A = this chain, B = another copy of it.
Amino acid sequence: MSLIAEFQTHDVRFPTSLLLDGSDAMNPDPDYSAAYLRIATDAGDGLEGHGFVFTIGRGNDVEVAAIQALAPYVLGRNAEELLADLGGVWRELQHDSQLRWLGPEKGVMHMAIGAVVNALWDLRAKREGKPLWRLLGELSPEELVDLVDFRYLSDALTRDEALAILRDAEPGRAARIARLEAEGYPAYTTTPGWLGYSDEKLARLSREAVAEGFAQIKLKVGASLDDDVRRLGIAREAVGPGIRIAVDANQRWDVAEAIDWMRRLARFDIAWIEEPTNPDDVLGHAAIARGIAPIPVATGEHGANRVMFKQFLQAGALQVLQIDYSRVAGVNENIAILLLAAKFGVPVCPHAGGVGLCEAVQHLAMFDFIAVSGTTDDRMIEFVDHLHEHFTAPVDVHDGRYWPPAAPGAGTEMHAGSIAQYEFRVTDA
């Protein structure tokens, strides 16, 4: 028996705004940051659990405070009991009535719960000596549904329906693991498309993306229609007709504006329009999807919780579902969302980039392939080539694909030296 003996938070911020990496129509100058958590036990095995919330700078200290407020729920408790019942841990944190008031189930406190839950998953995967994708992909359907809280989902997905989805996929798991290891998981790249880049840089990076084997690139749009038309022309010429080009408006538009704008861009053969408007606007996204069909609508990186995803699916408001590692309350809630997507037959293409999001979310996409949807058709994980060097198990992306990580854990452990170097102090502001 061991106890959770350390619960240490860090405010880590990278000064990415200096290079305009990550600039888009709503986020002109992000400083990619992590409200970071490290937990350790007294087992003496050297294994730790790491988790984080990705933010883009100011307010990262508030997110750290929220994670710190959860220390009493974990510190001093029996590690084996916690790790054996991560569904129970999730419910305990989520249904603490006093903490729940701060959302409910959204925003700073919800993401903080995600960091704690994800740190525990990282520790569990390390103890079992497996990467998280394999750990999850080897749990039984019953164990998986026990991780999910079906409250508020039953009008769209019951526990029994989820079990049936998982059981249907079970016979093919071993074959899909073999295929994953042989072929990797499809990726697409956003590296060429940041708004702050020059036309020349856009063209060069678009050509490089094709040369590197990516079948899709993504461009930020929404600040200026003339600029978008010019940049899409440059990108389409650079990549040729066979490569998919998605666009991302980062919530810039109202409903009618989104429809008008996208009709003007349709001639460039758009793979999807991402975040056309406010991420809470289920009905608005549904109206946009009807207005610009057959261009698919993609959203989810700011999807606050499983109840919002349920409604987007019920309303036909998205055709591409983009889970995020740290927006919802951790692995458990993302499993609920993957099951909802499978129920509605909608492909999941995870949001990544930022700091550590690629390392983390690949595990969930690979798990989805192995044990939930059973396919990679129309699915791919976002890739941005930033800040991977700060992680102990950086992603392996080549030939346009993510290659399944072998290192035990959830991919969320940052080098201690990086944490120390980029730890933010109030005097830095």
Spell out A's residues near B (CB within 8 Å).
26-31, 55-59, 61-63, 65-66, 69, 72, 96-112, 151-155, 251, 254-256, 277-284, 287, 302, 304-305, 307-308, 310-311, 314-315, 429
User: Which single member of B97, B277, B315 contacts A28 (CB below 8 Å)?
Assistant: B97
Q: In the complex, are the beta carbons of A254 and B152 less than 8 A apart?
A: yes
Is chain A's interface secondary structure helix, strand, loop, or mixed overall? loop
- Which residue of chain B has its CB nearest to the CB of A150? B254
In Å, the complex CA distance between A281 and B152 comes to 8
In Å, the complex CA distance between A57 and B69 comes to 12
Q: In the complex, are the beta carbons of B30 and A98 less than 8 A apart?
A: yes
Copies of this protein in the complex: 2
User: Which single member of B104, B112, B281, B314 contacts A302 (CB below 8 Å)?
Assistant: B104
Chain B residues with CB under 8 A of A57: 98, 101
A26 to chain B: closest CB distance in Å?
6
- Which residue of chain B has its CB nearest to the CB of A250? B97
In Å, the complex CA distance between A160 and B41 comes to 61
In Å, the complex CA distance between A38 and B413 comes to 40
A230 to chain B: closest CB distance in Å?
24
Q: A58-B98, A282-B282 given. 5 additional CB < 8 A pairs? A: A59-B102, A65-B66, A102-B111, A155-B255, A283-B315
Chain B residues with CB under 8 A of A304: 106, 280, 304
In Å, the complex CA distance between A358 and B102 comes to 19
A235 to chain B: closest CB distance in Å?
24
A425 to chain B: closest CB distance in Å?
15
User: Most B CB atoms within 10 A — which of A72, A100, A101, A154?
Assistant: A101
Enumerate 23 A-B pairs (CB-CB under 8 Å) in ascending A order: A30-B98, A59-B101, A59-B102, A62-B65, A62-B69, A65-B65, A65-B66, A72-B429, A103-B106, A104-B251, A104-B279, A105-B278, A105-B280, A106-B106, A106-B107, A107-B107, A108-B108, A152-B278, A155-B284, A280-B307, A280-B308, A282-B282, A283-B311
